[in-house]
Structure 1
């Protein structure tokens, strides 16, 4: 019964991990920091390496958490497989060469900055190149968990998926090539470029082949089962008609399909790890084949809310629990800082530059770079591998592992906040935040919003005196404050400027609709103003803005927020209305106009 001595520690560790991560997630959600951030911090609170450092835990406690770590790789596999849904041929055509431009730009900049930084710091050229190649790896798991949790779909997710897949493939090739050259140099002979290239391509090719085989196996196991002729529908739908039917599952969003997918993926990934293949490519290829040659229903099985919630909690809690606090060394902190700074600049600025070259939407330019920052498991595995095959490989391990603490924690925080902001400000707004004169004529949608009821003489200022975007927003916020609608203008100003940072609310034709969702109000409030001389609002058509509607909405009422935007958009589509508004000389003119519009 001695084995029970270590078993109870594992059970205790599991219970602590689940409870602390769960309640920390609730705490940070309550504080508006996001639930997943709390789950990660909860894992850090029970982190064995941290507790060891302060002499609270022992070796058995640490070993218990190491035994849980396999779950992280299973989760990596599930997320990589789910990426395949975004790699359907039609979606790839939509992204096209623009995604390639973005990816290659950030890869080139990141590799150059990181490798160059370590070479200038005195590192061996091969070690510098290896660190540069590892820097290319981006952890997509956390980001795609958050996008699924927030139900974010469309262009951002499609572009991100395509970039990350291409990023991973290139990273694997570059890493494998550089390591081959470094090993040859260590043995005292040069490795021909062609030989190294063939070795790298062979590893990638075998991973792709294993992914294709995995797809074929899933296609055999998950398919429609036809009832034998003459046999009616059974009351028990799970009962097989023949013995061989036991080994098939009908394609449907079900737990049974999820069991098959996770089981098959786990086996395939374990084989890739056993033979030192780039294991992350296996589930990616499998998912891509499923999306194009089978059915996307399989992906829905992995999004069953009750199960995915548990997976998410375990994944982020284990990231926090396995952060290697013990690898932080004072004598290597300088190099850790070099890695963090150069990789951050490469990923953030390189991705931004790539989106600019590709002429991507400004919202994509502002959000995508921050989603490329996370880095986790793959980088740690590659650094450990280098430490084993190269005499001076420990230098790589001493830099990468401590750096991952920063990229895991900050990367998750930044991703969640960025995606929350994206969802908060873009879902549903596109229809109403277009240049009025560019919108095709359509029937006016009936809304319950009457501007004459939301506005009053006290909430209108004509003319406005400010000459800058920020000044106009502050001036209209002062109008709301003086009318007793809000108390603290600084809080609301920050929320409105957060929205402006994503994309200017200057919609063209001389109109700007600055707006923000905030905790400072429990209902929608509005202020209106006219500036005849115009203000540079960075509008989409480059024109100065003269007409301003400032809208402040509660955070939890997206429906009313969109209705309000719809009402204003409907009024402004008429060129006649826009000209009348520009001619207002007093709040009384404005109220008379809005009252007339509301009666129509």
Structure 2
């Protein structure tokens, strides 16, 4: 939405930063929760549970270190790149390298790649070119991701997620809005940012679907219901989320109706 309407301003900067941090914490908490859930389901020993938690922390730290290390090496040979095609191949190569090593070392693929991007852009702002070139292929990749999500969707479970979906939507929406206001008070940001930040955080897609797919594979008995709930609520959030984000951006003045009409 931000890219579509070319939004710019303090609210937009804070929104993008919060989204990035939100995704990172989501992956970290999910990794820990997944490990604890496995320990509780398949084992009863308290000692084993603590071992699993410790092992999960090692995996998370290892993923962050792997992504950061590869990010430090990625720009070294970029000076030999001459065309956009070469840059695209170069960037995809490092993403696949990070993914392959994470799988080989039994680390979180999502966290490793997220930290690859985080460290890469913070080392040098000129490294933004690595991300800009991915815009050439991001649309078909997003479509492919949602197609794969649809393939794993169990239609028969949709009728049973009514109350579960309502509870999920209620608590997620409440958490986003109340958390934004509360966090805004703590860091003393402007009132209009506190008021509308929660609306900007409502869209739900990639990270939630990815985590749900992992849960589906690791917990066959309940994973189908988890995944179906996330897919169904994602459809709802993707219908209302962009509208809420656009409304928030307009209210804080980062986009205008006139600007939108020109686009």
Question: What TM-score does the superposition give when structure 2 sets the normalisation length?
Answer: 0.77
| Structure 1 partner of 2:102 | 272
Structure 1 residues 164-189: Cα deviation after superposition (integer angstroms, max 9, x where no partner): 33323332332223322322222241
Match of 2:168? 339
Q: Structure 2 matches for 1:49-448, cutoff 5 A?
A: 146-192=1-47, 194-223=50-79, 248-249=80-81, 254-272=84-102, 277-293=107-123, 295-300=124-129, 302-303=131-132, 308=135, 311=137, 313-314=139-140, 317=143, 324=150, 327=155, 329-390=158-219, 392-394=221-223, 395-419=225-249, 421=250, 425-426=253-254
SS of residue in 2 equivalent to 1:393: helix
Aligned to 1:9: none
Deviation at 1:382, TM superposition (A): 2.4
Write the distance in 2 (CA, Å) between the matches of 1:320 and 1:352: 32
SS in 1 for 2:59: helix
Kindly state the Cα deviation for residue 211 of structure 1 after the two structures are TM-superposed: 0.9
Structure showing greater radius of gyration is 1
1:16-59 per-residue CA deviation (whole Å, 9 max, x = no partner) reads: xxxxxxxxxxxxxxxxxxxxxxxxxxxxxxxxxxxxxxxxxxxx
Aligned partners of 1:556 and 1:408: how far apart in 2? 22
User: How many equivalent pairs are there?
Assistant: 257
Richer in helix (by share)? 2
2:12–2:254 contact (8 Å) kept in structure 1: no
Unpaired runs of at least 5, structure 2: none
Deviations 1:217-275 (A, max 9, x none): 3122213xxxxxxxxxxxxxxxxxxxxxxxx327xx94533431233223323543566
| Whole-angstrom distance in 2 between the partners of 1:371 and 1:555 | 17
Secondary structure in 2 aligned to 1:373? coil
The C-alpha deviation readout for 1:420-457, integer Å capped at 9, x for no partner, is: x268x346xxxxxxxxxxxxxxxxxxxxxxxxxxxxxx
SS at match of 2:132: coil
Q: Give the distance between the partners of 1:401 and 1:389, measured in 2 at CA.
A: 17
Mapped to 2, the partners of 1:426 and 1:178 lie a distance apart of: 37
- Give matches, 1:407-556, under 5 Å: 407-419=237-249, 421=250, 425-426=253-254
Relative to 1, partners in 2 of residues 1:190 and 1:374: Cα closer, same or farther, differing over 3 Å?
Answer: farther
Partners of 1:255 and 1:153 lie apart in 2 by 29
Q: 1:280 to 1:413 in 2, by over 3 A?
A: farther
The secondary structure found in structure 2 opposite 1:222 is helix
Question: RMSD between aligned alpha carbons?
Answer: 3.4
Rounded Cα–Cα distance in structure 2 between residues aligned with 1:413 and 1:331? 28
**Residues of 1 paired with 2:212 and 2:206: CA distance?**
10
Structure 1 Cα separation of the partners of residues 138 and 95 of structure 2: 18
Mark the CA change 1:336 to 1:274 in structure 2 (over 3 Å): closer, same or farther. Answer: farther
Cα distance in 2 for partners of 1:261, 1:333 equals 42
Report Cα offsets for 1:550-587 as digits up to 9, x if no partner: xxxx9768xxxxxxxxxxxxxxxxxxxxxxxxxxxxxx
State the SS of the aligned residue for 2:189: coil
| Structure 1 length-normalised TM | 0.38
Q: Deviations over 1:476-510 (max 9, x none)?
A: xxxxxxxxxxxxxxxxxxxxxxxxxxxxxxxxxxx
Give the secondary structure class of the aligned counterpart of 1:329: helix
